[in-house]
Structure 1
């Protein structure tokens, strides 16, 4: 039974934007009244309602869950593919008066909850680690209409990866499973349909020795390709070209190009992990197949992003480790002039090595197109790890230096051929999404008429494509102000 201890959301302040028609004065402003909802397997649990931008709930929520076949062993629990959703809402009391009535007349009020942000993690991550604990950044939308950041909070001098810490919200969470369940996996044996046996045998012995040193750390040296042949993981790493459309958006190489490429990879759907007794047997596709099939697992996402970064001449490696919220993860490590960056290919987010809010909690091994390195350092926290893998006292390498062999040649293509986007299909998809949204909104309001504002629709059409770039910085202040101005005259509600 998972248990959650939720406390301390920070720094968000609500500001009413309703103004009188004859004056630009703000009628009133109010602080948030936040509460947290935890939903799992279609059941919702809620905390009490707090007040202010620095609430502290300090509450325990016991969440029941449905066991497949009423069997609580690990193999049955590993079949649960549900995610745990933690949403933060602001409760607002809306007082409504009739249009022809004076303000002194009695009206009626109703309660509305505004979504502020969320944290999501799969149940499998909790199953792998037994508990999840820490301070986590809340995913908030790029534009949150009707809300401003608290002016009482003094922002730090340093930026947090280009984003001001003032404009971030954090949540303290502790989650665990009661009673505790052990997580074990088996080690794969050599398969007869394999690469050259000498190298694979070396890889198997290397893995066995690494596991003897640190049993809980991840080490993957060989996988099966889509033809069922066991090969070294280093054969998946090779510089590959990203779509030309992404390169054309920023003609001169910049960090914005890397952010855009990372965002592109994060849009590819993720295949959920299978936590069972066969977890030691991995099947990986090439980057070309990952794009053509529009799906991939965590490692295939990391390999694709790593290959794209290599195309730009970056020093990049795939990092296998453990994340607080996601369990087993695959990140991309890039080396800059004076620092290391950790890229999450599933979200497109980038964290500096010494970022205290990076969800990565353990660095287990690295690999590129030449070798695999296992982390021998006692403390494998990203902030404590020395990433210079040339130091043999810190990193154990699979192959000797300058090793040459046919069984280490990349299985990736020379380049990825992208097909042109069918514009008519995109237009048809856009229209179907718009019709579906309109129908759903009207279904949610069965007792009230739904009137669509054309001016609001026009502004949204200008803003939404820019939000797709993954950051609100592409949205001009004029466009956002114009949208805010609409709220002076209209209620925008569902």
Structure 2
């Protein structure tokens, strides 16, 4: 890390004096001077800065009256998993913990691949970042002079980072948003707002070069004079603002090149998705969630990072996999169909994925806009300091492309007035004819297929949990699984209506299960996962470590719900629960 970067980090150590440094500060220096080429294996390094972390503000231990269990404040720790390797931090305390710790995960196969100069991937791999609450229990015994103590850990939230994003970015530094389940058995919410975030630094300790994108000329269908003028403009502003991404011409899957404005066009919503009972904002949330349920796959995997090809909406919905461009194009198409007053594609960089394409919506040019992440459906006001976008360099709509030549690029500091952006066409050109299909024949939802998939996934998860607990008898409570599926269906309904799960509503959903198990400690949560190959689903379930209890009296419950939507898009929920007699 450059010296000036370390200077910035001194703010994290306000008590440090000139004659004293914290041990962590010394480890930071040695960590950054580490040479992986002199070591037997490459490694993932994670560094958690001393910054506020808020997921535990959302949940506090649920107090069971007369349980004999002495519940203490939250004691969170961070667990990092990649492949078959898992490491963790020490335990911190309270709702705003700090760790200041370094974690290394070996990646021997990756080191060999990177040293050979190849960073392409035949399938996506993931880095799991999970937050657990470690409970220290003191229980009464028959002897009044004795107490029984034990420890357990409960998952309360986490995040998943695609390896492809880390390979291209080489490092991730800043604030990531954690996914916290809408309800947690055994916990109660203390507030219904504030995002859960974690400040960290991740890098791959290996020397390798990013792949260069293909430079061969593809067939261009635009006017030669306009292309020449565009290239001249981009050359000028690139000299003025070097290092920024200024897109204009993009290629489709046929290898044909167009101005990216031609990819922006309205598209009718799937049958049954529009509801007159929902407000415009709720409909926007609904369609953002629908688009986000289509699995993500980076072009780094599809084309080894050498090409960035755009598919149209019909192709995207046909193959049901794509990167952020495909998700953004489909989302902006639905927003245009909903007659959102102002919508634009936004190009920039995200802390979590490097180069990113989001969607901007505004009620008018003078209003505060909203930035939508099309891959996960989350949205942020442009004034939100926690927005994951770290820079904005370009915007585009149906009629023009706008380049940010301002000094500032961060969404909080950019002047969003379109008059202060450099336009590709200075005059009034009008909407460019689109290359997108104007209509799509959506396949209807297949409830029978969804039910079969849910049963198969549930059976696979139960089998794997037994395999992950060698030497222990694993019992499943089938009598509560139906109630858990009912909860999943109700959560899905609320999510698709654009509603948040409030603490009051979560309590009503969980009350039947609490009444059924009054003498049990209950730990459980629903996971919303993309409909990806079963191994990815099993990896996500394994990473939350609900199976890692050593109490032989613990029983489990697993419920899976798959809700089908048009075009074979599915919403997958997995509910995991553990019941331990007190």
| TM-score, scaled relative to structure 2 | 0.72
Tell me which of 115, 119, 129 is aligned to 2:159: 119
Q: After the TM superposition, which residues 229-268 of structure 1 pair with which residues of structure 2 at under 5 Å, given as runs?
A: 229-248=256-275, 251-268=277-294
Which of the numbers 326, 330, 346 marks the counterpart of 2:375?
A: 346
Match of 1:302 among 328, 351, 354: 328
Residues in 2 aligned to 1:395 and 1:175: alpha-carbon distance in whole angstroms: 33
Taking the aligned partners of 1:190 and 1:206, their CA distance within structure 2 comes to 19
Distance 1:404 1:48, change over 3 A: closer
Question: What is the RMSD computed on CA atoms of the aligned residues?
Answer: 3.2
Counterparts of 2:214 and 2:78 in 1: how far apart (Å)?
41
2-structure distance, mates of 1:14, 1:108: 23
Q: Secondary structure of 2:309's partner?
A: coil
Partner of 2:428: 402
> C-alpha distance in 2, partners of 1:53/1:291?
42
The 2-side partners of 1:205 and 1:43 are apart by: 50
Specify the alignment match of 2:513 in structure 1: 483
Q: Which of 139, 148, 152 is matched with 2:179 structurally?
A: 139
Residues 157 and 178, structure 2, Cα contact 8 Å, conserved in 1: yes
Please name the residue that 1:411 is paired with.
435
2:451 is aligned, of 420, 427, 430, to 427
Q: Which residue of 2 aligns with 1:160?
A: none
SS at structure 1 position matched to 2:464: helix
| 1:219 matched residue in structure 2 | 246
Tell me what 1:204 maps to.
Answer: 231
Superposed displacement of residue 210, structure 1:
3.5
For residues 99 and 410 of structure 2, what CA distance do their matches in structure 1 show? 29
Say whether the 8 Å CA contact 1:365–1:372 is kept in structure 2: yes
State the alpha-carbon separation in 2 of the partners of residues 182 and 330 from structure 1: 23
Q: 2:129 aligns with which of 62, 74, 86?
A: 86
Q: Partner of 2:452: helix, strand, or coil?
A: helix
CA distance in 2, matches of 1:26, 1:354: 47
User: In the alignment, which residue of structure 1 is the partner of 2:460?
Assistant: 436
Please show how residues 352-367 of structure 1 align to structure 2 within 5 Å: 352-367=381-396
Question: Is the counterpart of residue 39 in structure 1 residue 81 in structure 2?
Answer: yes
Are 1:53 and 2:95 matched, yes or no? yes
Whole-angstrom CA distance in 1 between matches of 2:68 and 2:401: 61
Mapped partners of 2:161, 2:143: distance in 1: 47
Mean Cα deviation higher: 116-125 or 258-267: 116-125
Counterpart of 1:9 (choices 53, 60, 79) is: 53
For the pair 1:385 / 2:421, whether they are aligned, the reply is no
Stretches of structure 1 that go unaligned for 5 or more consecutive residues are 156-162
Equivalent residue of 1:88, what SS? Answer: strand
Conserved 8 A contact 1:38-1:45: yes
1:245 partner SS:
coil
Tell me which stretches of 4 or more aligned residues in structure 1 moved more than 6 Å: 105-108, 275-278
Query: What SS does the aligned partner of 1:256 have?
Result: helix
Q: How many pairs are equivalent?
A: 467
Secondary structure of the structure 2 residue equivalent to 1:354? coil
Q: Displacement, 1:206?
A: 3.5
Write the distance in 1 (CA, Å) between the matches of 2:115 and 2:130.
30
Asked if structure 2 preserves the Cα contact closer than 8 Å seen for 1:116 and 1:140, the reply is yes
Secondary structure at 2:95 match in 1: coil
Q: Distance in 2 between matches of 1:56 and 1:362?
A: 27
Residue of structure 2 in register with 1:159 after alignment = none
Report if aligned partners of 2:117, 2:208 keep a CA contact under 8 Å in 1. no
Quote the Cα distance in structure 2 between the aligned partners of 1:467 and 1:435: 22
Deviation at 1:190, TM superposition (A): 4.1
Distance in 1, matches of 2:370 and 2:198, equals 24
Does 2:492 match 1:450?
no
The Cα shift of 1:38 comes to 1.5
Which stretches in structure 2 are left out of the alignment for 5+ residues? 1-42, 523-555, 557-577
Moved more, 201-210 or 74-83: 74-83
